[in-house]
Amino acid sequence: MARFPLVSTAPVPERAVLVGVEGRPGGWPVERSLDELERLADTAGAETIARISQRLDRPNPRTYIGSGKVEELCGLVRRIDADVVIFDDDLTPSQQTNLERTVGEPVKIIDRTALILDIFGLHATTREGRLQVQLAQLQYLLPRLRGMWSHLAKEQTRGGIGSRFGQGESQLEVDRRLIRNRIASLRRELKELERRRDVQAKSRVSSNSFRVALAGYTNAGKSSLLNKLTGSAVLAQDKLFATLDPTTRAYRLPGGRELTITDTVGFIQKLPHGLVEAFKSTLAEARDADLILKVVDASDDDFERHLEAVDRVLEEIGAGDTPAVVVFNKCDLLGDEDRRALSLRFPEAVLCSAYTGEGLDALVDRLSVEAARLDAIVDVVLPYREGALLKAIHEQGQVLVEEFDENGVHVVAKVGPRLGGILKPFGSKAN
């Protein structure tokens, strides 16, 4: 065995240098933001070796950071043999090109958006998820295409032999045209999938179930909360963006009322706009919900900034006015004093732990209250042939009176507005 040692086949993590700029008043402290960037890099399979930060009023238009800091970066990269440099903010195509030329090959220069797109590419599992990620990646790539065949263009400028071919489209133009065609094709495919999703959503609406969507910062514990409430086994990991595809589960409240709970993709600060656009059909689950549970990691020091980031994305997708309840998850990690302080600051919020189950009864009670908020009392007589409607009243409402006679079933019940509208032809009287 000593003569034939085992060789590890595990991929060697790339060595990363993180670069951040602090300058925007009221923004995230650069160290906090770089902490999150390090977690993103870890999720993508990179190992953070070093960090560089700089205070600037505005980014350098050529290299994002100042020229002196660029020299410091080059020296650090060579000294620690880094593989990739990750910037905490978006780089323009020209900034990325200038930095690549200065730092030199084979070191890669990427920004936060490219890193998030890479993680989404790793974690997308469904066909729709993969198409959405590919669309966002191509939209990001298109303005960053550079002339891979530029050596031919240089030869043509010299004149003589070899200067007269390639008078039509350049390779760069061909590449751009191919990417634009692929983007158009992806949009058509996603449009078709969106139509199918709309049909499914309409069927859920017609079922009159109260619809709840879980929204929150990535790694706030949304999937764990869904699992704990419904007894399902949705993937839940201590990783950023562990799940991308929405998952809907049915849940029955203690009074018998049915509702659906949908787990949506996690949000993050500086979430690329292209991703929000690409995932709009998926995020529509939150927009079309009757209630949004904003799940917050109570143990995170930056939970208020996380909540602000969630609110921004909800506004962007048109869900800013949807009724919402803040749910502080992971409260088992807080001390008694911290819990009391949280309750005083957010008296309308629910404190719970998906890990221990603590506070879930209070959350279920709150769901019952919210589901009944728009209910009205109806008084109807249902013919016996309308057994499906009677079942819907039992599943989605609260039956107060139920009597059987030769005319049918006399029911007095509290029901939601959608079911109340369906019951109107049967002589319902809303109180």
Whole-number Cα distances in Å, 111 to 80, 101, 140, 142: 20, 16, 11, 15
Among left, alpha and beta (phi > 0; psi -120 to 50; other), residue 160 is left
Identify the residue with better confidence: 154 or 241.
241
Helix (H) or strand (E) holding 109: strand 108-111
Identify the residue with better confidence: 216 or 149.
216
Which pLDDT score, from 0 to 100, does residue 160 have? 45
Query: Which range, 113-127, 187-201, 317-331, 382-396, is most confident?
Result: 317-331
Q: Is the pLDDT reported for residue 78 higher than 90?
A: yes
Average pLDDT rounded to a whole number, residues 70-74: 94
Average pLDDT rounded to a whole number, residues 44-57: 91
pLDDT band for 103, please (50, 70, 90 cuts). very high
Query: Which range, 16-30, 332-346, 390-404, is most confident?
Result: 332-346
Nearest to 36 by CA among 224, 226, 223, 309: 309
Render pLDDT for 150-172 as a digit per residue (tens, 0 to 9).
444 444 444 444 444 444 456 77
Q: Is the pLDDT reported for residue 202 higher than 80?
A: no
Q: Is the pLDDT reported for residue 81 higher than 80?
A: yes
Neighbouring residues of 2: CB distance < 8 A, sequence distance ≥ 6: none
What value, to the nearest 5°, has the Cα angle with vertex 191 and ends 189 and 193? 70
Neighbouring residues of 428: CB distance < 8 A, sequence distance ≥ 6: 378, 379, 380, 420
Provide, rounded to the nearest whole percent, the portion of the chain with pLDDT above 90. Answer: 35
**Of 183-187, 242-246, 386-390, the least confident:** 242-246
Q: Is the pLDDT reported for residue 148 higher than 50?
A: no
Joined together, the tokens standing for residue 167 give: 């008078």
Helix (H) or strand (E) holding 362: helix 360-372
Render pLDDT for 357-372 as a digit per residue (tens, 0 to 9).
999 999 999 998 898 8
Provide, rounded to the nearest whole percent, the portion of the chain with pLDDT above 70. Answer: 83
Which pLDDT score, from 0 to 100, does residue 18 have? 96
Q: Is the pLDDT reported for residue 9 higher than 60?
A: no
Phi, psi of 168 (to 5 degrees): -85, -135
Mean pLDDT, the chain, whole residue set: 82
Neighbouring residues of 296: CB distance < 8 A, sequence distance ≥ 6: 216, 217, 220, 303, 306, 307, 326, 327, 328, 329
Rg of the chain, C-alpha, whole Å: 28
| Per-residue DSSP letter, 267 | B
Q: Is the pLDDT reported for residue 388 higher than 70?
A: yes
E strands, 7-107, in order: 14-22, 46-55, 84-87
Identify the residue with better confidence: 258 or 245.
258
106 cis-preceded (ω within 30 degrees of 0): yes
Where helices occur in 207-237 by DSSP H, the ranges are 222-230
Contact 329, 308 (CB under 8 A): no
Strand order in the sheet with 210-216: 247-252, 258-263, 210-216, 291-297, 324-329, 350-351
Q: What does the longest C-alpha to C-alpha distance in the chain come to? A: 102
Q: How much is the pTM?
A: 0.74
Which pLDDT score, from 0 to 100, does residue 234 have? 62
Q: Is the pLDDT reported for residue 255 higher than 90?
A: no
Average pLDDT rounded to a whole number, residues 131-145: 86
**Of 22-31, 44-53, 376-385, the least confident:** 22-31
Q: Is the pLDDT reported for residue 125 higher than 80?
A: no
Nearest to 243 by CA among 220, 271, 273: 220
Rounded to whole angstroms, the Cα distance separating 56 from 61 reads 12
